[in-house]
Structures are given as structure tokens and as C-alpha cells.
């Protein structure tokens, strides 16, 4: 059994570890501190919620490793005025972190089961600036475009064209780019007037970005 004191120590170590690994943005660290990860993992994983590892969630998907969540959020350079689109709600943890920094977050998930569970978590936690959409993230959410920031949390070999179209001028997209069954790179694309500027960062492993809404729940 974990006591309250254990939990507090766990959360302090969680933040220290993020700092040690190079996360420096104060807003990102504050958001990582604020969002209770134990709400987003399976009941049997609650005791390990603040260990720095990815974990299984329903529908064969995963909640990302906290370091990768913090890292991608930092690279995304989110400001309080921003409207952010996330593709791949999963547990909802990444969307929750984004929502503590941005003005509004729209998050798209192809499994209704995951989308519904995430929606309940956001309601429970009072995170009222997140909209969950069940659909195909490859199409984005054109009716809410343009977005200042877009974060894709599933692996893709090519940049989805619809997402580039829905990125505001000067906007930034961060995604794991590369073959889904291999190691991908975190890539940042910045929409300049006549080109997309690409920067490559750390290697990661994400579950694949799959086309279409899931047929099963």
C-alpha cells in the first residue's frame, strides 16, 4: 500500500527527474506538477503513476512516458493565448497537460471508448477548456481551424496534409515521424510564409497513427 507521504515523495521525484533530464520551461513543469497522472492510468498501475514509463491503456494503446509528454510540450512552445489541436487522445493525459498552458485544446481519438473515458476524466478534474472529438485525426478538425499549435501523439511516416492546412501562419506542429514499427524522431514543423521549416529531435517509439475511426469500440 502507498501512503500519502509516499505519494508526495513520488511526485517530487517525478518533477526532479524531468528537470534532471533537461525540461526547463516553467509553464511545462507547472502543468506536469498539476495534472494527477494517477487519474489517467489503469487501476492496477496507480501506484506506479509517477514512474517515468509508458503504460498500457484500453484498446491496445499506451499512455506516453511523462518525460516524452513534457519534452513534446516544451518543443511545441505553447502560450496561454493558443488554440491547440492534439491527435491521439488516448488516456487524455497529454491533452490535460496542454490544457493547463493553452487557452483551448481540441483532441481527436479514433476509439470511442478512450474518448469517452478521457471526457469523464476532464469533467472530474474540472478541465473545461478541452473538447474531445471521436474521429479520424488524419483529417484534423477543419471546422475549428486554424490552430496555433498541433501535437500528434501517434507515429506516422508522412506528415498528414490536412494538419498542415489547419496550422496557422507561424504555427508549430510537433509529431513522431518515422516508420510506425521502428524508432521515430520527434519532429517540429514551423509554418513560415512560403515553407515548412523542419527540425529533428530525440528518438521515440509511439503506437501507429491509423486511418479512419476504429470499427470496434
Which of 87, 102, 130, 186 binds ligand SAH (CB under 6 A)? It is: 87
C-alpha cell at position 75:
518543443
**Residue labelled with grid coordinates 501523439:** 153
Cβ proximity to ligand SAH, 82 vs 170, nearer residue: 82
By CB under 6 A, tell whether 166 contacts ligand SAH: no
Q: Is 63 in the site for ligand SAH (CB under 6 A)?
A: yes
What phi-psi label fits residue 173: left (phi over 0), alpha (psi between -120 and 50 degrees) or beta? Answer: beta
94 binds ligand SAH (CB under 6 A): yes
Residue 185 designated active-site:
no
Exactly one of 64, 91, 99, 185 is catalytic; which is it?
A: 64
Task: Examine residue 173 and tell whether it contacts ligand SAH (CB under 6 A).
Answer: no
207 binds ligand SAH (CB under 6 A): yes
Strand 196-204 relative to strand 130-134, pairing:
unpaired
Among the residues of 21-133, which ranges form H helices?
Answer: 26-34, 66-76, 93-99, 112-125
130 binds ligand SAH (CB under 6 A): no
Name the phi and psi angles at 172, rounded to 5: -130, 135
Q: What is the DSSP string of 8-48?
A: HHHHHHHHHHHHHTT---HHHHHHHHHS-GGGTS-GGGGGG
Q: Judged by CB under 6 A, does residue 138 bind ligand SAH?
A: yes
Q: How many residues bind ligand SAH (CB under 6 A)?
A: 24
Q: Which of 166, 162, 172 is nearest to 196 (CA)?
A: 172
Residue 93 in contact with ligand SAH, rule: CB under 6 A: yes
Taking the complex as a whole, the smallest distance from the CB of residue 15 to ligand SAH amounts, in Å, to 18
Q: Which of 124, 123, 86 is nearest to 108 (CA)?
A: 86
Residue placing its CB nearer to ligand SAH in the complex, 90 or 178: 90
Please give the positions annotated as active site.
64
Residues at the site binding ligand SAH, with contacts judged by CB under 6 A: 61-64, 87-88, 90-91, 93-94, 108-111, 114, 136-138, 153-154, 207, 209-211
Amino acid at each position: 500500500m502507498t501512503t500519502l507521504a509516499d505519494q508526495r515523495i513520488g511526485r517530487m521525484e517525478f518533477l526532479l527527474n524531468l528537470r534532471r533530464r533537461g525540461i526547463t520551461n516553467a509553464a511545462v513543469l507547472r502543468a506536469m506538477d498539476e495534472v494527477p497522472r494517477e487519474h489517467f492510468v489503469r487501476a492496477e498501475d496507480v501506484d506506479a503513476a509517477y514512474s517515468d514509463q509508458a503504460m498500457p491503456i484500453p484498446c491496445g494503446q499506451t499512455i506516453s512516458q511523462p518525460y516524452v509528454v513534457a519534452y513534446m510540450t516544451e518543443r511545441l512552445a505553447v502560450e496561454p493565448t493558443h488554440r491547440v489541436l492534439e491527435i491521439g487522445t488516448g488516456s487524455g493525459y497529454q491533452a490535460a497537460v496542454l490544457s493547463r498552458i493553452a487557452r483551448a485544446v481540441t483532441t481527436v481519438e479514433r476509439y470511442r471508448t478512450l474518448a469517452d473515458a478521457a471526457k469523464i476524466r476532464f469533467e472530474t478534474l474540472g478541465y473545461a477548456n478541452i473538447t474531445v472529438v471521436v474521429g479520424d485525426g488524419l483529417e484534423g478538425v477543419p471546422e475549428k481551424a486554424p490552430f496555433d499549435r498541433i501535437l500528434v501523439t501517434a507515429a506516422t511516416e508522412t506528415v498528414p496534409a490536412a494538419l498542415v492546412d489547419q496550422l496557422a501562419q507561424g504555427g508549430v506542429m510537433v509529431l513522431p515521424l518515422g516508420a510506425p514499427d521502428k524508432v521515430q524522431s520527434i519532429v517540429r514543423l514551423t509554418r513560415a510564409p512560403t515553407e515548412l521549416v523542419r527540425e529533428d529531435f530525440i528518438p521515440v517509439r509511439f503506437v501507429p497513427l491509423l486511418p479512419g475511426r476504429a470499427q470496434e469500440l
